[in-house]
Amino acid sequence: MGVYSIKDLEKISGIKAHTIRIWERRYNIVVPNRTETNIRLYSDTDLKRLLNIAILNKNGFKISHIANLGDDIIKERVLDLCLDVRKSDIQIESLMISMLELNESKFNNVLTHSIIKRGFECTVEEILFPFLDRIGILWQAGSITPAQEHFISNLIRQKLIVAIDNEMENAKVDKLIIFFLVEGEVHELGLLFYSLIARKEGFHVLYLGGSVPLDDLIKVNDIRKADAFFSSFISPPENNDLEAILLTHKEKFPSTPFFVNGLQVRNYNKELPQNFTDVSSVEQFKKALKEI
């Protein structure tokens, strides 16, 4: 069972700690345990209840009304809202609850409904990527466990692998893109997704996955010369020196286009090297592919 501070609840639910305290006093929304020094401690049940209440409150339900609803009714109201694909924030909150519960069925239900209504690509861009960004922040802050993050990441990975498998024989363009992560980088969900987009656009894809040493990348390129490379940067690089990594790869492959994306690229405040393109959306990537 998880134990959360009021700051954890604030980070995960988006409800300010001050507001949570008021709701506790006025409506008994949750009743925390307390330490000997009177510090509030919340359970998994408290957190999930607050997440559901936050969803309703953000969508027009008054807290005084929610306080009079039973847990089953609250869950029904949240489910009704979740089926409205226009409300991506609610679906993200529902995925958050499925992660906290380690509930694969709930995760699949939310995702499947979104895919049917939005399509797979839009679901990944509008639901899963913002969801993963939020998980990353919570994981770094220690508000969720590595096991919870791994659980949800593996479910998403499964979905991407199935989608990729359906595009394996789709190559129509005589161009090869090598997808890889630099040595030490292991977060490959974005890499998998954009390799799917490249396949759907008819490109040949050589997928190397995570933590590829530069010497190995050079050897691979000697065997099958790339028309372009794609790499994602999620974790802070060694010595926080992304510039050195980018310049080293440019030096080894001076004339080959590089597509890059990820949190570290978004936070990079310098100009990218020549031939490097920051991929910020599917549409931008599709347009860039036409220029290879």
Distance between CA 57 and CA 61 in Å, rounded? 5
Strands 276-278 and 176-182: unpaired
- Can you give the pLDDT at residue 84? 63
Q: How far, in whole angstroms, is CA 32 from its chain's centroid?
A: 30
Domain that holds residue 56: 45-163
- Kindly state the DSSP code that residue 184 receives in the 8-state scheme: T
Distance between CA 81 and CA 56 in Å, rounded? 8
- Reported as half-sphere exposure (CB side, CA atoms, 13 A), residue 179 has a value of 22
Question: Do 49 and 152 reside in the same domain of the chain?
Answer: yes
Distance between CA 94 and CA 105 in Å, rounded? 12
Q: Is residue 75 part of a domain?
A: yes
**Per-residue pLDDT band at 133 (split at 50, 70, 90):** confident
Q: Is residue 231 part of a domain?
A: yes
Mean pLDDT of 115-144: 83
Top-confidence residue, 212 or 172: 212
Distance between CA 168 and CA 200 in Å, rounded? 9
Residues 2, 7, 9, 13, CA torsion sign:
negative
**Per-residue pLDDT band at 276 (split at 50, 70, 90):** very high
Weakest mean pLDDT among 9-13, 26-30, 206-210: 9-13
Exposure class string for 33-45: b at 16+ Cβ within 10 A, else e: eeeeeeebebbee
| Residue 146 CB neighbours (<10 A) | 8
Question: Do 192 and 251 reside in the same domain of the chain?
Answer: yes
| Residue reference for tokens 């570290």 | 264
Q: Is residue 40 part of a domain?
A: no
Query: Does 86 score more than 90 pLDDT?
Result: no
- Can you give the pLDDT at residue 123? 92
- Can you give the pLDDT at residue 3? 80
Contacts of 147 (CB under 8 A, 6+ apart): none
Q: Indicate the average pLDDT of the chain.
A: 88
**Per-residue pLDDT band at 82 (split at 50, 70, 90):** low
Question: Do 91 and 152 reside in the same domain of the chain?
Answer: yes
Top-confidence residue, 202 or 90: 202
Number of domains in the chain: 2
Question: Do 158 and 178 reside in the same domain of the chain?
Answer: no
Residues 200, 203, 209, 211, CA torsion sign:
negative
Query: Does 85 score more than 60 pLDDT?
Result: no
pLDDT in tens, 215-233: 999 999 999 999 999 999 9
Distance between CA 188 and CA 198 in Å, rounded? 15
Mean pLDDT of 42-68: 87
- Can you give the pLDDT at residue 247? 94
Q: Is residue 25 part of a domain?
A: no
Distance between CA 174 and CA 142 in Å, rounded? 46
Query: Does 292 score more than 80 pLDDT?
Result: yes
Weakest mean pLDDT among 80-89, 113-122, 175-184, 219-228: 80-89
**Per-residue pLDDT band at 255 (split at 50, 70, 90):** very high
- Can you give the pLDDT at residue 59? 81
**CATH number reported for the structural domain that contains residue 252 in this entry:** 3.40.50.280
DSSP H or E segment with residue 56: helix 44-58
Mean pLDDT of 150-159: 93
Asked if 259 and 174 count as a contact pair (C-beta separation under 8 A), the reply is no
- Kindly state the DSSP code that residue 270 receives in the 8-state scheme: S
pTM, entire model = 0.77
Question: Do 126 and 209 reside in the same domain of the chain?
Answer: no
Query: Does 45 score more than 90 pLDDT?
Result: no
**CATH number reported for the structural domain that contains residue 65 in this entry:** 1.10.1240.10
Question: Do 201 and 138 reside in the same domain of the chain?
Answer: no
Task: Look at residues 65, 72, 76, 80 and name the one whose alpha carbon lies nearest to residue 26.
Answer: 65
